[in-house]
Structure 1
């Protein structure tokens, strides 16, 4: 006679009011163990969130022997090795006593520029690029109104209420007459609420083609024939902030009217910047939250104020946050005459 199967123990009834330890919470356990959070701190967080400690404690303990989690641990070792290589290379760069200084240069030879700034991956401010640009004597908010005020433009608006206004830039697109936007900028004072940025693609409109006629000589490392296709226009009040991010190509950014403060962080320090989504960091350089982003305390920030007539060269992958100190008109262009299209495998994590 066969032995009857033994029944499994009945699950303990869930106490009223406890939240379910569902798949989302189990993923949370795995993520936080990968972040090397202690089981004790995790249990406290889960209990505070309304979960049953009698379920949470064994679930946390079991994670360290879960085969899927162990596979993730091995991939984490590979990621940690890459992060350590980057950190060591950054330490070597910082041995240079001038590492923290963003140079302002003129008459840089093509060979030196290629070696030191493009291949050497260093930001620099060029002081002589715009010396013959008609834009320097012509562009102003009033000039924009007189020549182009009748044209419709797209701008970014209602940014102040959204902490992720740059990530959500498509939600902030608004259309207006340029004359009305000029009046708003001049009357509104310092604000980050509205801005006409590169993403608004003003120069793609035929009516604004005369602006390109106001651009004189370009740096010798730029391809003039590509200017119209790879140029952007910026206009806004003092107080606009382009939050911390990196571009996927190299570019030049010439300041025509007003000043901007540029702050840079080396791409080798990306692991310190909590880059969980596309090309953005949640760290605000004006108000860094070190309780939430403690690794940022190790980052080395370079800073320079760019004056009218000066041109920033932004090397590949450098993180930057830009603040307008005055009403500002700027012109950027990415027609660098070296390969300037690069692939970045960007994360798209939205729940961290």
Structure 2
């Protein structure tokens, strides 16, 4: 017994986490910039989830990989321009290593020196639905979210070069655990939204994309991008990145095989964000559906199951409005009857009601998450304890080494948290077959977005030009407030 007690003793620093769950949650809810948590997950079983281990657990199960070109193009490689392959993890690893067995396999048409593969956004609850005990390997309760584990998380497996186009998430904040390999994150604050030229084409609920390829920008067409403030960090295995609400991010795998897990944390502000998303869906679907049917513009992102009808979208909009107003009433009631803000009471009494719109509840991205809100008021008076265990992701013009943290992490001097090299579960997505699905060799991947580079001699306003203005985040926010005023009158 004495030996067991000694192992858990705070005197043994290597066995003691730098932040208690309560403190970690306070940081997650108050931080206004990205930061890397270190030494918080050393005892998580999920750290063994490398590609080889996952091959054994999945036992030959096929998953979908997004295939993209390794190319230096100034246009973003949106998911609508990629092709998709159904394959096992064993086949993926064999292809990545260039083994001869891939000649006749699902990756046979893709040269691994020219293409990358990404099994992105895989719900752990869906992938391991017959092995639910594995959910407990992910312990988000260490960050102050009791009961949250792998069931509310997603898995990402990719080869070198695999990337997610620059975008911001409308809902929640994000915690990302890196397990195998390294990923480089390019992050931009919400205040840079105008400089990133936001667009809702391709359309995906809760994702606002940037027209700019942030690692190879076309400054002729997007000159305001020069004013953006890039925060660049290389996330290493065992580290957890915190991405605050509405921070833009472009993510790219820089090692031959990468594995990571993330979870979106619900916030009180998501109520209003869902109302804005309902407005956006209604407008985008209505206008794009009214276009000439011969238009080949792939406007719907593959993660969206279908373009819902106008009637359905209006139902969603009204329910989002009602949910938001109900939330406001509960908040006012709480404030009037108590001088303290009881987070857990709020979470249990204000569960998000699911909005069902012609789809299965467990599959729909249009459903409001049943999990409680995690609204904690910021404690601005307390200084954030940055140091070797919590490292801020700084703008590129600043040196991360000024925090005295780089060397303490035991990494190569060339791998710094701020790099000057130049250069729902969470979001409640629908699960279903993508609209762009092809196993034809190298078809679709080389397509370019019709609006990415406009000929200066062509001055006609396109439907997408109209939508870029109409559903600009600033406009939808204004529309949401105008609609709320109309309802309250």
TM range (shorter): 0.5 to 0.7
Q: For the residues of structure 2 that align with 1:337 and 1:132, how far apart are their CA atoms?
A: 27
Distance 1:172 1:128 in 2: 38
The correspondence for 2:166, drawn from 231, 241, 244, is: 244
User: Would the alpha carbon gap of residues 145 and 111 (structure 1) be closer, same or farther in structure 2, given more than 3 Å must change?
Assistant: closer
**Contact between 1:222 and 1:337, CA under 8 Å: does it hold in 2?**
no
Q: How far, CA to CA, are the matches of 2:136 and 2:31 in structure 1? A: 32
Aligned equivalent of 1:130: 41
Partner in structure 2 of residue 90 of structure 1: none
1:200-349 equivalences under 5 Å are 200-201=122-123, 203-205=125-127, 206-207=129-130, 209=132, 211-216=134-139, 218-224=141-147, 226-248=148-170, 249-277=172-200, 279-326=208-255, 327-335=257-265, 342-343=273-274, 344-345=276-277
Between Structure 1 and Structure 2, whose CA radius of gyration is higher?
1
Name the structure 1 match of 2:118: 195
- Alpha-carbon contact 1:185-1:236 (below 8 Å) kept: no
Q: Following TM superposition, by how much is the alpha carbon of 1:165 offset from its aligned partner in structure 2, in angstroms? A: 4.5
Q: Does 1:139 align with 2:49?
A: yes
Structure-1 residue corresponding to 2:413? none
More displaced stretch, 203-212 vs 227-236 = 203-212
CA distance in 1, matches of 2:20, 2:124: 32
CA distances 1:193-247 after superposition (whole Å, capped 9, x unpaired) = 320001x4354132464542432464333242x4344210011112112121011
Residue aligned with 1:197, SS:
strand
Encode CA deviations 1:131-166: one digit per residue, 9 max, x unaligned: 111232x22222222332411212212556995553
CA distance in 2, matches of 1:339, 1:131: 32
> Is the contact between residue 157 and residue 195 of structure 1 (CA under 8 Å) also seen in structure 2?
yes
Q: What is the Cα deviation at residue 112 of structure 1?
A: 5.8
Q: What SS is found at the alignment partner of 2:192?
A: helix
Secondary structure (helix, strand or coil) at the match of 1:304 reads: strand
CA contact (8 A) 1:132 1:216 kept: no
Contact 2:125 2:152 in 1 (8 A): no
Q: 3-state SS of the aligned residue for 1:280?
A: strand
Q: Tell me, yes or no, if structure 1 residue 166 matches structure 2 residue 78.
A: yes
Structure-1-length-normalised TM-score: 0.60
Separation in 1, partners of 2:88, 2:177: 25
Report the CA distance between 1:120 and its aligned residue: 4.1
The alpha-carbon distance between structure 1 residues 255 and 221, as it changes in their structure 2 partners (threshold 3 A), is: same
Aligned to 2:464: 350
Whether the 8 Å CA contact 1:189–1:237 is kept in 2: the answer is: no
> For structure 1, which segment, 125-134 or 160-169, has the greater mean C-alpha deviation from structure 2 after superposition?
160-169
* Structure 1 gap ranges (5+): 1-105
RMSD: 3.1
- Say if 2:62 and 2:88, in contact at 8 Å, map to a contact too: yes
**How far apart are the structure 2 equivalents of 1:292 and 1:108?**
45
CA contact (8 A) 1:159 1:194 kept: no
- TM-score, structure 2 normalization: 0.44
- Cα distance between partner residues in 2 of 1:324 and 1:134: 23
Distance 1:271 1:217 in 2: 34
- Which has the larger displacement, 150-159 or 126-135? 150-159
Distance 1:320 1:115 in 2: 23
Question: Secondary structure of 2:198's match?
Answer: coil
* Per-residue deviation, residues 88-131 of structure 1 (Å, max 9, x unmatched): xxxxxxxxxxxxxxxxxx73456665565534422111112321
